[in-house]
Amino acid sequence: MLEELWYKNSIIYSLDLETFMDLNGDGVGDFEGLARRLDYLNAMGIDCIWLAPFQPTPNKDNGYDISDYYGVDPRHGSSGNFVEFMHQANKRGIKVIIDLVVNHTSDQHPWFQDARSSENARHRDWYVWNKAKPSDWNEGMVFPGVQDSTWSYDKKAKAWYFHRFHDFQPDLNWDNPEVRAEIKRIIGFWLELGIAGFRVDAVPFMIESPEPNTSKHELNFDYLREMRRFVQWRRGEAILLGEANVMPEENKKYFGEEGNGIHMMFNFYVNQHMFYALATSNIEPLVEALEATRTDFPTVQWAHFLRNHDELDLGRLTDEQREEVFARFAPDDDMQLYDRGIRRRLSTMLGNRQHSELAYSLMFSLPGTPVIRYGDEIGMGDDLSLKERDAVRTPMQWTDDYQAGFSTADKLVHPVIDKGPYSYHHINVENQRRDPDSLLNWMTALIRLRQECTEIGFGDWQILKTNKPKILCLHYSWQGSSLIILHNFDEKAHEVILDLKLEKKDKQGKEQKLIDLMVNYESEADDKGKHYITMEAYGYRWFRAGDVSHLLKKG
């Protein structure tokens, strides 16, 4: 029955409407523009779009400050445009998940405006207040260096309010049952409009009960289970995909002891160790991270990614490891952010095509569901002259025309990259569509390959030791079919010896070969049953084998 779970073998594409395609020429991307680009996403093989927040917002945090949960920000179009877009997406078999940002609202939200108006206001208890200045008012900031506090005084309310993020993002009081009931209404509203689930923003902060004068806040996992139940009652196949950059042990609580918590989580832990492996070619910490995040229930699933709309957060690495990644991928101060992260795109960090292919092939081969960031499929760059995380939020580069074909307006929400090797004159969809060797066409082939390798989403996996310490060998088995996937993190070529402990012939007398799924090559074992496989510098190979499930560790 596992095959029922669509999210186990899907490719997710994340985008922000603002910077994807502007059809009405006002400099901001919109639903009509996105609808026009659905054929592009469909041709690439995308199964699901994750839309960043698009609801009405003062837009002081890229839309993560919502002032009305039931609408569409007029900059992106109308509710009618949203429904039309949903229709067009569904017609192509593309699912849509949207951000659910309910840890906090915008301070401009009518609930907060009411809450601050008086102690007896209808919505007062929807937020977290304290009369006196909490002693921990300047502890636990998520954006160190940019954010000064987590409690701020509101003159009108004559009280201090809690905000895990910026002061214009007051936290909702999740301990108030009315707040949770309203959040269910929001969930129900969007599910009714046909979405396939939510990317849940800031989950650990959402379920915490903030107390003044202590930075130790209790987490209430019942709230997550309650949310999951509600989603499933309303729409059986809908999912929750959580954002929680937590340690592996802690993570189990989010999936739920019986797999009854959140369905999917971004694997931040593996993400950071992947970058460590890419920076140093030392794969041991990555192997440990993969083992540490093994899941216990077949219905839960990791989402793997390389870059997203935020900084590349390296906070879970040791100080030494982080310094090594900085030294390789972000040597200048202005490439780093919040004392823990990097504000660059993948291509500019890795600097060459082969290394980028290795990174993407790796991410697609990990136990979980791949999530791609818009623009990475053509190798877009970043603009470090923009502030903070805006560096990686420049408009999509469609063509070599004015404003990269993104818009006809002179002034854009963020400027296009028009200089240097990553400018839209060199890097754009139109060029790459026509070039059979382009990154875009390579990525399209990788997507198709991943979709054919259902062993990854459904099967059991294991890391096989090889004779080469810089080569990662992953093995999957599912219903009598197996995959052997190799990645060489070294800048030098190697020959790997694989002993799959297979008879030379299968029961039908057919030679048991490893069949390369990317190039026209088959590996036959020698007399002792060993395969000798050449791995190029930063090379990767995906093989289908017969049934090698006997290699899986028992227990």
- By CB under 6 A, name the binding residues for ligand NOJ: 61-62, 64, 101, 165, 201-202, 243, 309-310
Return the number of the residue (172 or 548) whose C-beta is nearest ligand NOJ: 172
Which residues form the catalytic set?
A: 201, 243
Amino acid at 227: M
Tokens of 406: 């993104």
Query: In the complex, which residue's CB is closest to ligand NOJ?
Result: 64
Return the number of the residue (20 or 442) whose C-beta is nearest ligand NOJ: 20
Q: How far is the CB of 199 from ligand NOJ (least distance, A)?
A: 9
The alpha carbon of 286 is separated from its chain's Cα centroid by a whole number of angstroms, namely: 18
Rounded Cα distance, 484 and 202, in Å: 35
Q: How far is the CB of 542 from ligand NOJ (least distance, A)?
A: 31
Return the number of the residue (187 or 244) whose C-beta is nearest ligand NOJ: 244
CB atoms within 10 A of CB 366: 22
Rounded Cα distance, 347 and 378, in Å: 9
Q: How far is the CB of 103 from ligand NOJ (least distance, A)?
A: 7
Q: Are 141 and 130 in contact (CB under 8 A)?
A: no
Return the number of the residue (64 or 160) whose C-beta is nearest ligand NOJ: 64
Return the number of the residue (165 or 174) whose C-beta is nearest ligand NOJ: 165
Rounded Cα distance, 142 and 164, in Å: 7
Q: How far is the CB of 170 from ligand NOJ (least distance, A)?
A: 12
Helix axis angle, 353-365 to 439-452, nearest 10°? 20
Q: How far is the CB of 466 from ligand NOJ (least distance, A)?
A: 37
Q: How far is the CB of 65 from ligand NOJ (least distance, A)?
A: 7
Rounded Cα distance, 31 and 38, in Å: 11
**First and final CA of the chain: distance in angstroms?**
22
Rounded Cα distance, 177 and 185, in Å: 12
The alpha carbon of 423 is separated from its chain's Cα centroid by a whole number of angstroms, namely: 25
Residue 203 class from Cβ within 10 Å (0-12 exposed, 13-18 middle, 19+ buried)? buried
Tokens of 532: 């000798």
Return the number of the residue (146 or 497) whose C-beta is nearest ligand NOJ: 146
Return the number of the residue (200 or 525) whose C-beta is nearest ligand NOJ: 200
Nearest to 516 by CA among 475, 485, 472: 485
Helix axis angle, 268-280 to 319-329, nearest 10°? 60
- Residue burial 404-432, b: 16+ Cβ < 10 Å; e: rest: bbbbeeeebbbebbeeeebbbbebbbbbb
Q: How far is the CB of 383 from ligand NOJ (least distance, A)?
A: 17
